[in-house]
Amino acid sequence: MMEVISSLIGDVVLLKPQGELTSRGKVAGAIWSYLHRGTSKFVVSFENVRAINSVGLSTLLEFKRLAEASGGQIKLCRVSENLKKVFRVAQLSEVFSFYDDEDVALAGFIKGLPLMSADSSISRHRN
């Protein structure tokens, strides 16, 4: 079962998928719900992602394009070397921005905002 934990930090969404990113499911649902509310800045942490396939890659690519069309971006962080190989094989390693951790990825969006500010909210999506 895939679970996605999402936190809204200022106007940036931190998504933390758990498990295998092998379907559109909850990751697409989480991103889509924020895009519909006007949020287009995303950091996706791969810390607890064990695998990704072409469906997961195409989902990220699709929502990267939608976020950019809305003036935002999707940044990836904590991507293991094994998963980075999948991005390289799919010729997507140059398309996405990779960061070592959430703090560094968030810093590009948020200047001077504490990571867990008073207006942060956390939600969970399961499929």
**pLDDT digit string (tens) for 66-81?**
999 999 999 999 999 9
Q: How many CA atoms lie within 13 A of 68 on its CB side?
A: 11
At 24 the pLDDT is 84
Q: Two tokens at 28?
A: 């697409």
Report d(CA 46, CA 50) in Å as an integer. 8
Structural domains of the chain sorted by starting position, each given as residue range(s) with its CATH number in brackets: 3-126 (3.30.750.24)
Stated pTM of the model: 0.84
Tell me the β-bridge partners of 122.
7
